[in-house]
């Protein structure tokens, strides 16, 4: 399992089928230097279930482990999976949860669009201190 280098900016797009993780530097305008990690898949979660299925817990655990060391984390996605992941972080890693700078509802952007959006967002956050 790879982990994020320290002082890195990371964007995660996830839905109920996959997660896409992008490591990038806000200084790079185009996002061309962004590294994209492979998709991770899990089974669909049914709405309204209070207890996450074991395969989803494992999926979120692996994603959480990979994100260790992220300084700023943008989480995006079209559905409730992003909120489930935030709740998972709240229960299992509050240090990483505090590094989440935004949670955004974004349908299905192209990889470059997500990196560009995250780059712009992190630049604004960096300027605000």
The 3-class SS string of the chain reads CCCCCCCEEEEEEECCCEEEEEEECCCCCCCCCCEEEEEEECCCCCCCCCCCCHHHHHHHHHHHHHCCCEEEEEEEECCCHHHHHHHHHHHHCHHHHHCEEEEEECCCCCHHHHHHHHHHHHHHHHHHC
What confidence tier does 7 reach under pLDDT thresholds 50, 70, 90?
very low
Tell me the per-residue pLDDT of 64-95, one tens digit each, with 9 for 90 and over: 998 998 988 999 999 889 999 999 999 999 99
pLDDT band at 36 (very low <50, low <70, confident <90, very high): very low
| Residue ranges covered by each domain of the chain | 8-44+51-128
Q: Give the chain's largest Cα–Cα span.
A: 41
Q: Which residues pair with 36 in a beta bridge?
A: 22
pLDDT at 98: 96
Q: Tell me the whole-structure pTM to 2 decimals.
A: 0.77
Residue 60 has pLDDT above 60, yes or no: yes
Q: Taking all residues of the chain, what is their mean pLDDT, rounded to a whole number?
A: 78
Q: Decide which of 102 and 118 is more confident.
A: 102
Taking residues 28-47, what's their average pLDDT?
49
pLDDT for residue 51 is more than 70 = yes
Q: Flag whether pLDDT at 37 surpasses 60.
A: no
Domain 8-44+51-128 coded CATH 3.30.420.60: yes
Residue-level pLDDT at 73: 92
Which position has the higher pLDDT, 106 or 116?
106
């Amino acid at each position: 399992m790879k982990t994020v280098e320290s002082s890195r900016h990371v964007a995660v797009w996830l839905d109920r089928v996959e997660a896409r993780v992008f490591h990038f530097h806000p200084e790079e305008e185009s996002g061309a230097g962004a590294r994209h990690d492979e998709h991770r898949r899990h089974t669909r979660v049914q709405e309204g279930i209070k207890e996450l299925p074991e395969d989803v817990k494992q999926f979120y655990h692996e994603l959480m482990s990979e994100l260790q060391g992220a300084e700023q984390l943008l989480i995006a996605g079209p559905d409730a999976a992003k909120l489930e992941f935030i709740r998972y972080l709240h229960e299992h890693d509050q240090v990483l949860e505090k590094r989440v700078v935004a949670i955004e509802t974004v349908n299905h952007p192209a990889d470059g669009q997500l990196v560009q959006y995250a780059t712009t967002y992190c630049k604004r956050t960096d300027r605000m201190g």
